[in-house]
Structure 1
Amino acid sequence: MASPPPTLPVRVPLITEPVGILGSLKAARRNVLSIIPDIATRQPMVSGRTGKRWHMVMDPGALRRVLLENEANYPKSIVTKNLLRPAIGESMFIAEGAEWRWQRRAAAPVFSHRNVMNLAPIMTAAAERSAERIAGAGNRAVDMAEDMVRTTFDVIADVTFSGDGSFDSDGVHQAIDAYISEAGKISLFDILGLPDWVPRPGRMVSAGAMRDMKRVADDAVEARRKRGPEGVPDLLDLLLEGEDPETKRRMNTAELRDNLLTFIVAGHETTALTLAWSLYLCAFDARVQDKAREELRRVCGDGPVTGADVANLPYIRMIADEALRLYPPAAMVSRSALADDTLCGRKISRGDTVIVPIYALHRHHQLWDAPDAFRPERFETRKDLQRYAYLPFGDGPRICIGASFALQEAVIILGTLLNRFRFTPVTGKAPEPVMILTLRPEGGVWLQAEPL
């Protein structure tokens, strides 16, 4: 990967020459984002054909139509569903239409402000444990990407199953990682749209681990159903109580399990990535760290960062927002057109793939000033941001249900660490942004952490 100018954080080199289907497949298996043409950061829409017709959409007005106004015409693509169904079944992330709507209505109260705030002490405790591990490393560099995965998994395991011992969180973690690393690589079968029952060689490697994980999760759900809640309700308690207000339908064990696994998959790695990239960026820019620390000392002093502090830490939130802009965990999503439509004055035919390259959208030269630069202050006046130009959690009716949970967790953990340490980069250890299912810092985020 070519080195970026020293004034800019690392970025993905986008293609400047057309590549064929085999070239696209080879590139996508290494880094999905490498198939984005550089022109996508300057044009409202780019179309082409790689096996089937596709359109990359970066125009906010057209994105509003895809994600909101004509959302029913653009369900998640077959590729997306084929990749994720073995891990998370027919959860609300994959379900469409009426099946999605009732699940979403039943689960929405789980992520109310009150419930999310009730879980904040778990986030603070995990952040404090992370700080202790980092301090224990002494003068050795720490891979903050690895530690943030551990920290956020601690959170999701505790808020999902209250750490009651009925659920093998380490086993789940290993099974999910194995599935993502082996099965997440895009196969030619997926690009060609072959049905899910056609075996994918790479995906078969982890099938046994996924079956075992689901059986363990089913047992944990049934045990909780019999035992009932104890203390502050966790996500499983809240989902067990959940009911669609329109149909009065409740989730059965398989539906509960698939949605819990969705929250675990989506709710720990994406937040870990946000934190890892945030810390990389803070180490990249000492000025930002100093400004963040001033805010933290004013609000929290030397004490822990709590849920009650989050609303009073706007600059910490801006750092996380800017990290989500530069390195969105879900950096590319795709939809399939069910019927003909028009976007940006261009015909979309039934069966076309509509790609939202969020990575390119967030670095678009017509939508952002100095798009490749790290500037948290650009989020100071949120009303000035163009709607549908910033989509770290998606938008429309399918906006991420756990966005408030993730942001609260990110502010608490990031604030805790910046209040305890001064981070500096390790020479020659810059991470490489690589996306398979999520945009990960390949090589890790190696930082020196100086206690304050």
Structure 2
Amino acid sequence: MPDTTLPTPDTNALPVHVPLVTEPLGLFGSLRAARRNVLEILPHLAVTQPIVSGKMGIRWHMVMDPQAIRHILLEAVEDYPKSDVTKNLLRPAIGESLFIAEGAHWRWQRRAVAPVFSHRNVTGLAPVMSIAADRASARLAQVGPKAVDMADEMVRATFEVISDVTFSGGKSFDRDAVHRAIDAYISEAGKVSLLDILGMPDWIPRPGRLMSARTLKQMKAIADDAISSRRDRAPTDLPPDLLDLLLGAEDPQSERKMSDAELADNLLTFIVAGHETTALTLGWALYLCAFDPKIQEAARDEARALLQGRTATAEDVANLPLTRQIIDETLRLYPPAALVSRTAKRADTLCGREVRAGDTVMLPIYALHRNALLWDNPDSFAPARFADRKSIERYAYLPFGDGPRVCIGASFALQEAVIILATLLSRFRFTAVPGKSPKPVMILTLRAEGGIWLTVDPLD
């Protein structure tokens, strides 16, 4: 149920948000909007209604009703596979990895990989997150009181984490080159094509994806080389990293292990998803803290009282409730995967509406998280919503999805976000830069166009 204790916000003092559509755009208008920002095709009705349907070459439905979403993601998950648009965008980069695979091929990979992200393993990787928080703090301290693009800085910090937990003790590699390749692929290949919307076959070239395909060769070569080098490495006393855990992953039912090609695809999936989504969350969280200095100050007090000048660790995460609430509220307002698309395999009924086989069923997480039927003052920044997580309807809040395909790295991402955010807030004050508000733009993920520029003032 909505939190009725929240104050009515000043509508002139809301965090940045995407203006939703109030008039029909038409097919080509929608395509132009989607190329700029996928969220610009969302109708305003999506934040006031449980379902919105229409036709744009294909029949589509946007679902914001928690019970209907539960049906799609849990009860009838086999009837709603990922849409061809999603697969076409991502397959060139990550093949038939865990993120894209369906049916039996997905199930055995999920069983094999699940232990990799156990609580014990995720906690064991926390020191790398703490080191990255220290490195980010050192860089920020060097620039002094100055405007910094914190979106870019958080990308650097989280990429250090994912590369260190993946390649610890292995051969050196060009981090900047890998990140440029990932960034270029998301920026270009992620743009929705008319050919995707109309359901044209994969073999018809998509110009943007042909350009970005060149950047993929380097990513795949690095993944292949890392796997080959690790297989040939002599035993060491180093604690296992993500690559070691993947190499040892085995489906407990079939005892099947991943081939080198399957390992490379999943390794790239975790590298891309493992830093991009957490970096975005941290960048938006710092923007929101600068937007509301009182909440920032309260979170700083919490972090400083606990940390006493040291860096946050895995053991501290449970004792930083306000920091975690800020992360949760950030994921509500700016979910990295802001729109999820499925294709109905058979006829169904959602919210009393007919769904035919072949229809596209979209879960606009951005609109779900701002739907007035589910949230009070949905566009306001109010971390206290999450003081009692049991009060949040489960399928009204889906930053990591749900059901059997819930994000396998959710606990890793949350731990990393809390460790880095608490460390930074304990050491710096972040202030908005006038005239430099970020713009939420979704291609594959919900990024801040133009960066997140904040003045960073070191404390003490």
Q: Is 1:344 matched up with 2:376?
A: no
Equivalent position amino acid for 1:26 in 2: R
**Residue in 2 that maps onto 1:324:** 331
Structure 1 residue 334: deviation in Å? 0.3
Aligned partner of 2:266 among 239, 255, 259: 259
**Residue in 2 that maps onto 1:30:** 36
Contact 1:228–1:237 (Cα < 8 Å) also in 2: no
Q: Is 1:293 matched up with 2:286?
A: no
Structure 1 residue 339: deviation in Å? 0.5
Equivalent position amino acid for 2:43 in 1: P
Q: Is 1:185 matched up with 2:191?
A: yes
Equivalent position amino acid for 2:44 in 1: D
State how far apart, in whole Å, the 2-side matches of 1:165 and 1:140 are. Answer: 36
Contact 2:178–2:218 (Cα < 8 Å) also in 1: no
State how far apart, in whole Å, the 2-side matches of 1:208 and 1:377 are. Answer: 46
Equivalent position amino acid for 1:222 in 2: S
Contact 1:73–1:339 (Cα < 8 Å) also in 2: yes
Contact 1:328–1:358 (Cα < 8 Å) also in 2: yes
Contact 1:68–1:397 (Cα < 8 Å) also in 2: yes
State how far apart, in whole Å, the 2-side matches of 1:371 and 1:302 are. Answer: 35
State how far apart, in whole Å, the 2-side matches of 1:65 and 1:274 are. Answer: 28
State how far apart, in whole Å, the 2-side matches of 1:422 and 1:179 are. Answer: 34
Listed one character per residue, the Cα deviations across residues 332-378 of structure 1 (whole Å, up to 9, x for unaligned) are 01000001111001111000000000000000001001100000010
Structure 1 residue 163: deviation in Å? 5.6
State the TM-score, normalized to the length of structure 1. 0.98
State how far apart, in whole Å, the 2-side matches of 1:195 and 1:13 are. Answer: 33
Contact 1:168–1:216 (Cα < 8 Å) also in 2: no
**Residue in 1 that maps onto 2:244:** 237
Q: Secondary structure of the residue that 1:250 maps to in structure 2?
A: coil
Q: Identity over the aligned pairs, expressed in percent? A: 68
Contact 1:167–1:217 (Cα < 8 Å) also in 2: no
Question: Which moved further from structure 2: 4-13 or 308-317?
Answer: 4-13
- Do the aligned partners of residues 351 and 314 (structure 1) sit closer, same or farther apart at CA in structure 2, a change above 3 Å counting? same
Question: Which moved further from structure 2: 164-173 or 248-257?
Answer: 164-173
Q: Secondary structure of the residue that 2:396 maps to in structure 1?
A: coil
Equivalent position amino acid for 1:402 in 2: G
- Do the aligned partners of residues 333 and 302 (structure 1) sit closer, same or farther apart at CA in structure 2, a change above 3 Å counting? same
Aligned partner of 2:100 among 71, 75, 94: 94
Contact 1:331–1:359 (Cα < 8 Å) also in 2: yes
Structure 1 residue 189: deviation in Å? 0.5
Q: Secondary structure of the residue that 2:19 maps to in structure 1?
A: coil
Within 5 A, what are the aligned runs for 1:113-124? 113-124=119-130
Q: Which consecutive residues of structure 1, in runs of 5 or more, have no partner in the other structure?
A: none
Q: Secondary structure of the residue that 2:277 maps to in structure 1?
A: helix
CA RMSD after TM alignment: 1.1
Structure 1 residue 299: deviation in Å? 1.6
Q: Is 1:43 matched up with 2:74?
A: no
Structure 1 residue 229: deviation in Å? 5.6
Contact 1:145–1:272 (Cα < 8 Å) also in 2: yes
Equivalent position amino acid for 2:154 in 1: M
**Residue in 1 that maps onto 2:109:** 103
Contact 1:161–1:167 (Cα < 8 Å) also in 2: no
State how far apart, in whole Å, the 2-side matches of 1:170 and 1:72 are. Answer: 39
Contact 2:220–2:264 (Cα < 8 Å) also in 1: yes
| Alignment coverage as a number of residue pairs | 449
Structure 1 residue 102: deviation in Å? 0.3
Question: Which moved further from structure 2: 300-309 or 342-351?
Answer: 300-309
Q: Is 1:76 matched up with 2:82?
A: yes
State the TM-score, normalized to the length of structure 2. 0.96
Listed one character per residue, the Cα deviations across residues 182-209 of structure 1 (whole Å, up to 9, x for unaligned) are 2111110000111111111111012122
State how far apart, in whole Å, the 2-side matches of 1:64 and 1:10 are. Answer: 29
State how far apart, in whole Å, the 2-side matches of 1:437 and 1:355 are. Answer: 14
State how far apart, in whole Å, the 2-side matches of 1:394 and 1:228 are. Answer: 39
- Do the aligned partners of residues 427 and 163 (structure 1) sit closer, same or farther apart at CA in structure 2, a change above 3 Å counting? farther
Equivalent position amino acid for 2:189 in 1: A
